[in-house]
């Protein structure tokens, strides 16, 4: 059996917004700039997203929302690094 030495941690950068109802992060796209803040992408014409938390599920227009560049936290899979989840 061959065991890979590659890390299972997702080190890719994602674009995300904060849910207006529950304030959790909604990841919606890969950041092809790998987290580079200086890389400018055109703003979306319309950005309507649904919160992925089962307890929230709010569908809202995030066209004018601040878009963040984040990495997913390995243990939880959805929270960005450096963020503490309230329990």
- Written as one string, the DSSP assignment of 12-27 is -EEEEEE-TTT--EEE
Three-state secondary structure call for residue 16 = strand
Residue 64 within any structural domain of the chain: yes
- How many Å apart are CA 60 and CA 87, to the nearest integer? 24
The number of folded domains in the chain is 1
Give how far Cα 69 sits from Cα of 22, 35, 73, Å.
19, 6, 13
Q: pTM for the whole thing?
A: 0.66
Residue 5 within any structural domain of the chain: no
Residue 62 within any structural domain of the chain: yes
Residue 51 within any structural domain of the chain: yes
Structure tokens that stand for 84 in this block: 């503490």
Residue 81 within any structural domain of the chain: no
Which residue range forms the structural domain that includes residue 17? Answer: 13-35+43-71
pLDDT in tens, 23-82: 999 999 998 876 666 666 666 689 999 999 999 999 999 999 999 999 887 655 445 544
- pLDDT band at residue 2 under the 50/70/90 scheme: low
- How many Å apart are CA 18 and CA 6, to the nearest integer? 31
């Amino acid at each position: 059996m061959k065991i890979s030495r590659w890390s299972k941690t997702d080190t890719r950068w994602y674009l995300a917004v904060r849910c207006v109802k529950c304030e959790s992060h909604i990841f919606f796209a890969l950041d092809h700039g790998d987290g580079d803040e200086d890389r400018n992408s055109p703003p979306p014409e319309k950005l309507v997203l649904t919160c992925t938390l089962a307890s929230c599920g709010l569908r809202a227009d995030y066209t004018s929302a601040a878009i963040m560049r984040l990495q997913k936290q390995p243990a939880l899979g959805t929270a960005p690094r450096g963020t503490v989840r309230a329990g």
